[in-house]
Structure 1
C-alpha cells in the first residue's frame, strides 16, 4: 500500500527549501556534500557511538544513491516544466499542479527514508533520546517566549524582510506594486504563529511518546502516521489551518506570478532552467 504524506508537514517543506537553496554553480557541490552534512547533524543531535555512526553512514549513502538514480531525473523534468510555466502568468490551478508535483517527490523520498530512520532509532539509548527531546523542547520554549514578548510590529517587519530577501533571489528587484503581497504574506505568518506553536508542542509530545516505544513492532507504522497525518493532532484542530494555508499559498503565488514583469520572469526562468540542467547532470553520479 502506497503511503501519501501531507504536503503541509513542516519537515516536508524544510526538505523542499533545502533543495531550493542549492544555488548556481554550487548546486552539485552542495548536493554531493549532503550525505556528510546529514551524518554530522544527526551525530550532533544524538552523540552516536561508532556502530551507530556506521549504520547511519550506510543508510544515508543508500538514501542518496537511490535519490540520485530515481529522483533527480524527475527534479530535472519538473523544474524544466516549471520554468516554461513561469514565463507566463500562472493561474491558481497551474500553481497547484506544480505544488502537487513537489509533494509527490517529497512523499517518495520520505517513503524511502522512514525505514532507514526506524532502523537507526531502534539503536538509540534512552540517554540519547532524552538529550534529543530535551533540546527540541528547549528550542520550542524559546520560540514560544519570543512570540509572547516580541511586538506584532517587530514580527511583521521581520517576516516582510525575510520574504523580500527570498523574492530578490528568485525574481530580482521587487517592484512597488508587489509590496502589498509581501505585507499580506507577513500578516498571514503572524496570524498562523500562535496555532503553529501550539501544534508544534503537540507534535513534539507525540514524537516523544513514540520514541519511548521505538522497540515496538508498530514503531515504524506509528512514525509514518505521525509524518503522514501529524496535523490531525489536537482533535484535528490544526487541519483547518493547514488547509487554509495551502489555499492561501496557491492564490498568493498565482497573484505574484500575475504581478511579475518581463525582467522578473526572465530572472526566474533562468534560475529554474539552471537547476534543471544541474540536476540532470547529476543523475546517477556519486
Structure 2
C-alpha cells in the first residue's frame, strides 16, 4: 500500500542478528523504556516492513495485522517470562566471569528463542506468500535491488576506503548506544578493526543468491505447507543454502 513512511533498517546477518535479537529481548526484560516502547510497536513495524517489500493489498494487510498481533501477544505472554529467567541466569553467570561454557549457553538460549519464534510465526507468513500476485513479486524484486545499494557500494571500495567506512560506521553506532565517546576512546577504535573486502564481497554474493532463490520460490508458488517446509530449511540450516 506504500502509504506509511519508510523506516530505514540496519544491515543484519545470520547468527549475529539472532544474537542481537536475544540481547534486545533481554533489554526489554530488564525494563529499558526506549526498547519497551519499540517492543510495544513491533507489530506495526513488522507489518510496515512487509508492506515495504510487497506493497500489500488491503486484504493482505488486514490478515497480517491480525496474525502479527496474535504473534506479539503470544510472545508477550510466553516468551518474556523465559527472557526474564534467562536474564537472571546471565546475571548470575556474569558475576563469576563469563567463560566459554557461558558463551555456549548464550548461543543455546538464542537458538531456542529463535526456533520458537519461527514455529509460531512462519505458518502465517507462508500463508501470506500464497496470496502474492505477479505485480507484488516484481515489486519485491525491485526492492531487493534498491536495498542492495549499501552493500554493493562497500564491495566496490578499496581496502583503505573500506577500512575508513567501517571505522565511521562503528563510531556512529557506539556514539548512538553510549551517548558519545571520548577523544581517547575514538582514537583507539581503528586499532581494533580489521576490514575484509573478500568477506564483504562474499556477503553480497550470498545475499544476491538468496534473493534470487526466494524470488524463484514465490514465483513457483505452491501450498503454504510447501513454502513453510522450504523456508524452515533455510532458516534452521542456512549453511545448506
Q: Which category describes the TM-score, using the shorter chain as reference length?
A: 0.7 to 0.9
The residue that corresponds to 1:210 in the other structure is: 217
Query: Offset at 1:44?
Result: 2.6
Distance in 1, Cα, partners of 2:25 & 2:166: 21
After TM superposition, the structure 1 = structure 2 runs for residues 1-286 of structure 1, keeping only pairs within 5 Å, are 8=14, 12=18, 15-16=21-22, 19=25, 24-140=32-148, 142-148=150-156, 150-163=157-170, 169=177, 183-184=191-192, 186-187=193-194, 190-216=197-223, 218-233=226-241
SS at match of 2:164: helix
Name whichever of 10-19 and 48-57 sits farther off: 10-19
TM-score w.r.t. the length of structure 2 is 0.77
Segments of structure 2 that go 5 or more residues without pairing to the other structure are 1-12
Question: What runs of 5+ residues in structure 1 fail to find an aligned partner?
Answer: 1-6, 234-286
Q: 1:4 — aligned with what?
A: none
Please say which of residues 53-62 and 81-90 is displaced more in the overlay: 81-90
> CA–CA distance in 2 between the matches of 1:81 and 1:205?
41
Between the two proteins, the alignment pairs up a number of residues equal to 225
Q: Is the 8 A contact 1:118 1:220 kept in 2?
A: yes
**What do residues 145-185 of structure 1 show as CA deviations (whole Å, max 9, x unaligned)?**
4321x232232233344445656747x9689799889745x
Deviation at 1:130, TM superposition (A): 1.3
Q: Which residue of 1 aligns with 2:4?
A: none
Contact 2:55/2:136, CA 8 A, preserved across alignment: yes
Summarize the Cα distance change of 1:81–1:174 in structure 2 as closer, same or farther, 3 Å threshold: farther
8 Å contact kept, 1:46–1:129: yes
Higher RCO (C-alpha under 8 Å, 6+ residues apart): 1
SS for the counterpart of 1:187 is coil
Q: Cα offset for 1:203?
A: 1.1
Deviations 1:131-158 (A, max 9, x none): 012211332255224321x232232233
Cα deviation code 1:43-74 (max 9, x no counterpart): 23222121111101111011101111111111
Equivalent pair of 2:141/2:215 in contact (CA under 8 Å): yes
